[in-house]
Amino acid sequence: MPRSRGEPLTTIRSEGALLPPDFLHPRMYTKPFVLTTLAFFCFFTNVNAYNLLPLYLQALGARTGEIGTIMAMFSVAAILAQAITGRLIDRGWRKPCLLAAVALLTAVSAAFGVTARLGWSLYFLRFLQGLGFAVYMTSSMTLIADLAPPTRRAEAVGIYGTGGLVAVALGPAVGELILGAWGFPAFFAATAAVAIAALALAASVPVPPIVPAPPGPRLGWEGWVPFLPVLLPGFQYGLANVIVFVFLPPFARGLGLPRVGPFYIAYTGAAILVRFVGGGLADRVGRRRVIVPALGAMTAGILLCSGLHDTWLLVTIGLLNGMAQGFVMPAANALAFERAPSGRRGHALALYNGANLVGAALGASGFGWLVQAVGYRPAFALASGVLALGSWAFLRQR
């Protein structure tokens, strides 16, 4: 947040918030930043472990279309939660939102452990997971963006996100080991335990004191029009990620590949490497110049899924999608934060997350029924065409 003219260095305002210098230290790795990142790691370990939920649904007898619809309830709930979440955050409710979201995921993880029949309860639990995810992501991202030095915001968002990326690898990989050794009851108990750890860490985060921004003039449609192009990479990212994370594991298992763990490890390794080696690239050369080629790599990764036949190609898909994620997510989040209308940063990030979740919902539900109609390989090829069209549309924006 830039310092206003004549304002002392020890007092910096951010969207109506008066933040003491302890919380806006020029260094990026402050105590609030580190604790928030650790909490995010535990939170996302829980969330990503449920990428294996389709295997449980298959064991209960669910068909591909049903699996996609149950998984899509996550995104449906998260989309519905965005509007109220943005308002609460802009009014200074970040800490209560963080704690309520993690508490909800803890309860849901425990409830999965006692649900052993295919029915409405699985739809409802997945819906509650999405609700907790949406509230946590929006509140934590606004917190990190406020804590980061303005000239290193994309880098800070990227480093913060590495906690989630490590969880992308560890959640499913460790989850597979637990499933193989002790089965689904132990798996659900482990996810509940890691959610409790996330709750303890989130409670210890020293959130900056904030004075809620005074309500500004109501923004009509025209007030948000300049912001709308920012939503497109969020939609693309949500669509591509859900397609590979929800449907690649059962597809790979159906092909007889021994494990899907190498995909998650390759994905995470590429994304983390990109963030540490090229984390500041979007701050130096501009957000758009980083986002466009990354969207192209994401499209190529989905296209390669249509030709999957061996583990080395599974690893290649993970590398491409991980590299794309490592560039797109930090750059697009920083872009959304910076192009938000005055006093509407919570709303803006809620809209951005909503676009991401709309893509995820369409990917989970629509792609599932598409697979049931035409098969996995044609469905992946068609999805890559949709992503290519979206990348071209973002390239055309001014």
pLDDT at 215 over 60: no
Q: Does residue 54 or residue 27 have the better pLDDT?
A: 54
**Residue 16's pLDDT is what?**
37
Q: What are the residue ranges spanned by the domains of the chain?
A: 21-215+222-396
pLDDT at 58 over 60: yes
Would you state the structure tokens that stand for residue 169, as one six-digit string?
Answer: 């690898």
Each residue of 75-94: pLDDT tens digit? 788 878 876 777 777 676 77
CA distances (Å), origin 12, targets 152, 200, 213: 16, 29, 14
| Mean pLDDT computed over every residue of the chain | 78
Handedness of CA 251, 254, 255, 261 (dihedral sign): positive
Which CATH superfamily is 21-215+222-396 part of? Answer: MFS general substrate transporter like domains (1.20.1250.20)
pLDDT at 13 over 60: no
pLDDT at 8 over 70: no
Q: Which of 38-52, 58-72, 261-275, 330-344 has the highest mean pLDDT?
A: 38-52
Please compute the mean of the pLDDT values over residues 354-364 and round it to a whole number: 80
Q: Calculate Rg over the CA atoms of the chain.
A: 20
Give me the count of residues in the chain.
Answer: 398
Q: Where are the alpha helices (DSSP H) in the chain?
A: 31-49, 53-59, 64-90, 94-112, 120-147, 153-182, 184-204, 221-224, 231-242, 248-254, 261-278, 281-285, 287-305, 311-338, 345-361, 367-374, 376-396
pLDDT at 237 over 80: yes
Q: Does residue 37 or residue 19 have the better pLDDT?
A: 37
CA distances (Å), origin 115, targets 106, 121, 195, 393: 15, 8, 18, 43
Q: How far apart are CA 391 and CA 398, in angstroms?
A: 14
- Quote the distance between the C-alpha of residue 154 and its chain's center: 15
Each residue of 169-209: pLDDT tens digit? 788 878 888 988 888 889 999 999 999 999 998 888 776 66
CA distances (Å), origin 344, targets 15, 80, 156, 261: 8, 18, 21, 40
Q: Which residues contact 27 (CB under 8 A, 6 or more apart)?
A: none
The helix/strand/coil state of 345 is: helix
Each residue of 97-126: pLDDT tens digit? 889 999 999 999 999 988 878 888 899 999
**Residue 380's pLDDT is what?**
92
pLDDT band at 223 (very low <50, low <70, confident <90, very high): low
CB neighbour class for 30 (10 Å; exposed up to 12, middle 13-18, buried from 19): middle
Please compute the mean of the pLDDT values over residues 42-59 and round it to a whole number: 88
**Residue 88's pLDDT is what?**
77
| 346: alpha, beta or left? (left if phi > 0; alpha if psi -120 to 50) | alpha
